[in-house]
Amino acid sequence: MADKRSPARSRILDTATELFNAHGVRGVGVDRIIAESGVAKATLYSHFRSKDDLVIAYLHGADGLWRGALREAATNAGPDPREQMLGLFDALRTATICDGFRGCAFINTASETEPGTAPHATSVEHKQAVRAWLRELTVAAGADDPVLLAQQLSVLIDGVMSAAALEPTPEFTEAARAAARTLISVACPDPALA
């Protein structure tokens, strides 16, 4: 395999990312990626052995960006983990009102690939990693059932992404944030009130 830092690899991955985000992983063939990135077929295959390898690289990039955005939004909400759980909805709002937003890259990819394939498994791993991080926040917040609260928050996040793929409006994020606030207040009693 060729150098992961090469300009050609970056150009291929950037082109694939743009096309996959706009048209889905099934809607874009390798020939189109080759044509739009301006590389030879041999160059693409020297960096990515298969389209699945390219899709996985795309998902890894999306994973780093999305989890980074969630963590940054949570951190910006302050030190209280209850507020951090609400703060993560700021990242969701920013992502879902962007021009061209077509939904969650991982849900979209999972829906376009067969269970058991590497791209599908990579999508599942991402969702599990986000839930694990949410579980850390729910534990830190003293949730009565941290696993359940993490699952509930995860479902709200995925629901907003799905709804906003159809209608990119901030109202979905605000509705989910209000639901999250209720769930958090019930599951994580304020220690100052104890």
Nearest-CA neighbor of 163 among 149, 173, 154? 173
pLDDT band at 168 (very low <50, low <70, confident <90, very high): confident
How many Å apart are CA 184 and CA 144, to the nearest integer?
Answer: 10
The whole-chain average pLDDT of the chain stands at: 94
Structure tokens, 44: 């693409």
How confident is the model over 80-108, as pLDDT tens digits? 999 999 999 999 999 998 888 999 999 99
How many Å apart are CA 146 and CA 148, to the nearest integer?
Answer: 6
Question: Per-residue pLDDT averaged across 46-51, rounded?
Answer: 95
Question: Per-residue pLDDT averaged across 21-34, rounded?
Answer: 95
How many Å apart are CA 17 and CA 25, to the nearest integer?
Answer: 9
3-state class of 175 per DSSP?
helix
How many Å apart are CA 176 and CA 190, to the nearest integer?
Answer: 21
pLDDT band at 1 (very low <50, low <70, confident <90, very high): low
Question: Per-residue pLDDT averaged across 58-62, rounded?
Answer: 97
Q: So what's the pLDDT on residue 4?
A: 67
DSSP state of 61: H
Q: For residues 7 and 14, is the Cβ–Cβ distance under 8 A?
A: no
Q: So what's the pLDDT on residue 3?
A: 60
3-state class of 143 per DSSP?
coil
Say yes or no to pLDDT of 63 above 60: yes
How confident is the model over 103-161, as pLDDT tens digits? 999 999 999 999 999 999 999 999 999 999 999 999 999 999 999 999 999 999 999 99
Nearest-CA neighbor of 159 among 182, 180, 137? 180
pTM, entire model? 0.92
